[in-house]
Amino acid sequence: MVEAILRRTTFVVANAEESAAFYMNVFGWTKWYENKAVPVHEKFPPAAAHNAPCHLILLKVEHPDIGMLGLMQYLDPPFDIGIKKNRTKVQLGETVLVLESKDVDGCYERAVKAGATIVAPPTDWDVPGFDGKTKIMLRTMSMFDPNGIYMEVNHRK
């Protein structure tokens, strides 16, 4: 069996510094890495010319090796960087970022202040367990961050 772990998710954003500030403020994450002009290979990701410079910030959560979030800003964007505002629905092919926090209500309050578009405030609900018989009780909120990235923030009750 091939073993692979998910180490990090990286989002291409219009402004890496502003994006990092949102996640650091709302979730308390810290900068682990920052390079303001890292050359990007044309195939990783396939978006710009070879060695196109980008501003890359990696944010660290509690785990030392996994759960990091990358925010990548092309300094000369090869595409439209307009951000859809006031979104209420996800679209086919989009990422759903799922986060766990013991402070869902605090995340909600900080996200509102930081400019997120709230889809659902903290809500208590349940989902079926993996066995189909049990229920998992959750407190969950959902939002689009200022870049239009959708996420759910939950905590098992």
| Tens digits of residue pLDDT in 53-86 | 999 999 998 776 678 999 999 999 999 999 888 8
Does 31 fall in a domain?
Answer: yes
State the DSSP code for 82: -
Q: What is the CATH number of the domain that holds 29?
A: 3.10.180.10
> Is residue 139 situated within a structural domain?
yes
Residue 68: domain span? 8-74
Q: β-strand 117-128 against 135-144: which pairing, if any?
A: antiparallel
Residues 119 and 68 occupy one common structural domain? no
Could you give the 3-state DSSP secondary structure of residue 144?
strand
Which spans in the chain are helix H? Answer: 16-27, 104-113
Q: Is residue 116 pLDDT above 90, yes or no?
A: yes
The pTM of the full predicted model, rounded to 2 decimals, is 0.90
Confidence of residue 2 (pLDDT cuts 50, 70, 90): confident
Whether residue 118 is found in the same domain as residue 63 = no
What's the total number of domains in the chain? 2
The arithmetic mean of pLDDT across residues 20-45, rounded, is 95
101 and 70 in a single domain? The answer is no
Residue 23 domain-assigned (yes or no): yes
